[in-house]
Amino acid sequence: MRYNVFSLIKNTLSGHKNWEPAWRQPEPKKEYDIVIAGGGGHGLATAYYLAKEHGLRNIAVLEKGWLGSGNIGRNTTIIRSNYMLPGNNPFYEWSMKLWENLEQDFNFNAMVSQRGVLNLCHTDAQRDAFARRGNAMRIDGVDAELLDREAVREMYPFFDYDNARFPIKGGLLQRRGGTVRHDAVAWGFARGADSRGVDIIQHCEVKGINVENGKVAGVDTNKGFIKCKKLGLATAGNSSETAKMAGMRLPMESHVLQAFVSEGLKPYIDGVVTFGAGHFYVSQSDKGGLVFGGDIDGYNSYARRGNLPMVEHVIEAGVAMIPSLARVRVLRSWGGIMDMSMDGSPIIDKTHIQGLYLNAGWCYGGFKATPASGWCFAYTIARDEPHKLNAAYRLDRFRTGHMIDEKGQGATPNLH
Amino acid sequence: MLIPCPHCGTRPVEEFTFLGDAAPTRPTTNDPSSMEAWYEYVYLRNNPRGTIDEYAHHSGGCRAWLVVQRNTETHEVYGAVTARAFASRKEAVAKGEQA
C-alpha cells in the first residue's frame, strides 16, 4: 500500500484500525542468492537498492536485534557532504542527492530537513583551512559558503563570539546539509525492500560464515544454516567480529560514541552547528530537544555506553560555544559502537573470498552516508565490482598506501 | 572506569590517554621483506570483544606508559602494569615459543 493523502483519509475514517504492517515477519528460507548481515541503515539500504536498481529479489537481511536497534537509531541525525579529499566528496555528494529525493523514492516520510550545517572557525588558520575545504567542495559541485563573523552572528546571535580562548571568527556553511529523522530512514528502507520481496529477518544473529574452496557457501545463524551465493557484511561496530568468522583481520577498532538530548525547548537553533575548537555538534529536533554529541570516549569498547568524563567534556565544549546551554537540562545520553578505521574513511569492497563483500569502517560518519553506502554496496555486490563512487574505499588501500585521511592523523583510530 | 596505576594507586579514567591494543609487536627490521609484518603491525587489529591489553599513558598523573587489562564489553578493569613490565613479559613468552 502506498502512503498518500487518500490512504490517510481512508484510514482516518476507519479509525486507523486497518493500516497494514510496513513489513512482513518472515521465517528464513533455506537458501538465498544474497544475504546481508546487519539490518541497520546500511544493510537495509543495500537490500533496497539491490531490489530496486538491480532487479534482484531473492535476498535476506539478517538482523541480530530488532530492526533499527543499532547506530541507525543512535546517531545525531546529521547529513552533509562537506568533505575535502578526492574519493570522499563525490561519494558523499551522491549521498546528499539521494537524500534529496529519498522520501519520494521510498514513499515514506523521513523528515529530510535541509536546514544548513555550519562549521565554526576560531582562528585565522582555521578559516584558511575552511576556505580551502569550501573550494574543494565547490570544485566537486557541492554548495559551500564562507561566512564572516557578522554573517554568523546574524544567524545565531546567542553564541559566545568574544570567548577569551576561542572567539568565533566565521564559519563554513553548507545550506543543503541538515537533519533526517533517523528511525524513519530504517523504516523507509525496510518497507521499500520488503515490498520488493526482500526477507527482513529480525532476531537472527550470524554465528559463522561457511566458506568452501574460497567461495562463500552460507551462514550459520541462531535460526539454522542459511545457504547463499553472496554475502554482504554491514555490521558496523561488530565488523571485526563478523570478519573473524571468515578468517579476516580488519584495519579497524571499535569505540564507543555518546550522544545526548536535552529537555524540549522552544525553537532555538534552526540549523546544525559545529564547534571548531573542540568536538561538539548540535541541532534541535522537531520535538524541541537539543540533540548533540562530541568525540568518542577514546578506548576500545563494545559496551554501547560511555563514561562520565566524556559527558563533561562534550558539555564543556557546548557551553564554551553557547553559554546559555548551561541552564538547559540533559534528558538522556546513550552510546553506540563505531567501526573506527585506520584512516577515518570507510571500506566498501570485495574481499579475497569470492562472494564475500565488506561494508565497514564508517567511524562516526555513517548516518549521512546511508543511502549512497547502500547504493554503492548494492552495485558492488550485484556486479561483483566496485562503482567508481566507492572505488577509493578499497580494503587493500592500507597495504598499498592509498589512505583517505581527511584529518591527517595517521593510523590512530581513536583520533579520527 | 577506575585504573589501578602501579605508581599512583587507583585513579579515574580521565587522567589517562589511550593508544590502543598492546598486542601488535613492532618489527625489528626495516628490510623490504618485512613490509607485510609492518603492514600488520601498523594497520591490522584483533579488535577483541572481551579482554584486551591496551596501552594507556597516565598523562594526568605519573606520565608513565602502562598496559591496562580491561574488558571491552563490560568496561571491567582487571589490572594495570607498566609498559616495560608488559614488554618483558611479551618478550619472555616469544622466547619461550621459539625454544
Structural domain boundaries of chain B?
2-23+36-98
A343: nearest CA in chain B?
A: B43
Residues of A in contact with B44 (CB under 8 A): 249-251
Q: Is A231 left (phi over 0), alpha (psi -120 to 50) or beta?
A: beta
Continuous segment of H or E residues that includes residue A145:
strand A145-148
Continuous segment of H or E residues that includes residue A90:
helix A89-106
Residues of B in contact with A249 (CB under 8 A): 40, 44-46
Ordered alpha helix ranges (H), A224-348: 239-244, 308-321
Beta carbons of A307 and B75 less than 8 Å apart:
yes
Instruction: Round to whole Å and give the CA distance between A271 and A177.
Output: 9
Q: Is the pLDDT of residue B99 over 80?
A: no
Partners of B2 in beta bridges: B12
Torsion from C-alpha of A404, A70, A336, A414, nearest 10 degrees: -20
- DSSP class of residue A172 equals E
Helices then strands, counting H and E runs in chain A, come out as 10, 18
Phi/psi of residue A150, each to 5°? -70, -35
| Least Cα separation, residue A401 to chain B (angstroms) | 10
| Least Cα separation, residue B22 to chain A (angstroms) | 12
Residues of A in contact with B47 (CB under 8 A): 240-241, 250, 252-254, 300
Q: List residues in chain A touching B: CB distance below 8 A.
A: 238, 240-241, 249-254, 298-303, 305, 307, 309, 342, 398-399, 411-414
Asked if B80 and B4 count as a contact pair (C-beta separation under 8 A), the reply is yes
Look at residues A49, A60, A52 and name the one whose alpha carbon lies nearest to residue A24.
A60
Residues of A in contact with B72 (CB under 8 A): 254, 300-303
CB count in 10 Å sphere of residue A187: 21
Considering only the beta carbons, identify the residue of A302, A309, A399 that sits closest to B49: A302
Mutate to test the interface with B, among A300, A314, A343 (most CBs of B within 10 A): A300
CB count in 10 Å sphere of residue A213: 6
Considering only the beta carbons, identify the residue of B13, B17, B75 that sits closest to A303: B75
Cα atoms found within 13 Å of the Cα of residue A237, Cβ hemisphere only:
24
Which grid cell is A192?
521499500
A255: nearest CA in chain B?
A: B72
Q: What pLDDT shows up at residue B98?
A: 74
Instruction: Round to whole Å and give the CA distance between A362 and A238.
Output: 12
- DSSP class of residue A266 equals S
Q: What pLDDT shows up at residue A416?
A: 86
A239: nearest CA in chain B?
A: B47
Q: For B31-71, write each residue's pLDDT tens digit.
A: 999 999 999 999 999 999 999 999 999 999 999 999 999 99
Instruction: Round to whole Å and give the CA distance between A381 and A50.
Output: 8
Look at residues A355, A344, A304, A359 and name the one whose alpha carbon lies nearest to residue A44.
A359
A338: nearest CA in chain B?
A: B47
Q: What pLDDT shows up at residue A264?
A: 97
Considering only the beta carbons, identify the residue of B43, B52, B56 that sits closest to A342: B43
Partners of A289 in beta bridges: A264
| Least Cα separation, residue A210 to chain B (angstroms) | 20
Considering only the beta carbons, identify the residue of B17, B21, B73 that sits closest to A303: B73
What are the pLDDT tens digits along chain A (416 aa)? 799 999 999 999 999 999 999 999 999 999 999 999 999 999 999 999 999 999 999 999 999 999 989 999 999 999 999 999 999 999 999 999 999 999 999 999 999 999 999 999 999 999 999 999 999 999 999 999 999 999 999 999 999 999 999 999 999 999 999 999 999 999 999 999 999 999 999 999 999 999 999 999 999 999 999 999 999 999 999 999 999 999 999 999 999 999 999 999 999 999 999 999 999 999 999 999 999 999 999 999 999 999 999 999 999 999 999 999 999 999 999 999 999 999 999 999 999 999 999 999 999 999 999 999 999 999 999 999 999 999 999 999 999 999 999 999 999 999 88
Instruction: Round to whole Å and give the CA distance between A388 and B45.
Output: 28
Asked whether the CA dihedral A353, A240, A363, A181 is positive or negative, the reply is positive
Q: Count Cβ–Cβ pairs < 8 Å, chain A vs chain B.
A: 73
Q: What pLDDT shows up at residue B97?
A: 79
Which grid cell is A88?
570522499
Helices then strands, counting H and E runs in chain B, come out as 2, 6
Asked if B29 and A261 count as a contact pair (C-beta separation under 8 A), the reply is no
Asked if A362 and A390 count as a contact pair (C-beta separation under 8 A), the reply is no
Beta carbons of A309 and B72 less than 8 Å apart:
no
Considering only the beta carbons, identify the residue of A241, A305, A411 that sits closest to B43: A411
Instruction: Please tell me the class of the B2-23+36-98 domain.
Output: alpha beta
Ordered alpha helix ranges (H), A324-385: 366-383
Residues of B in contact with A413 (CB under 8 A): 20, 45
Instruction: Round to whole Å and give the CA distance between A19 and B25.
Output: 59
Instruction: Round to whole Å and give the CA distance between A210 and A188.
Output: 31
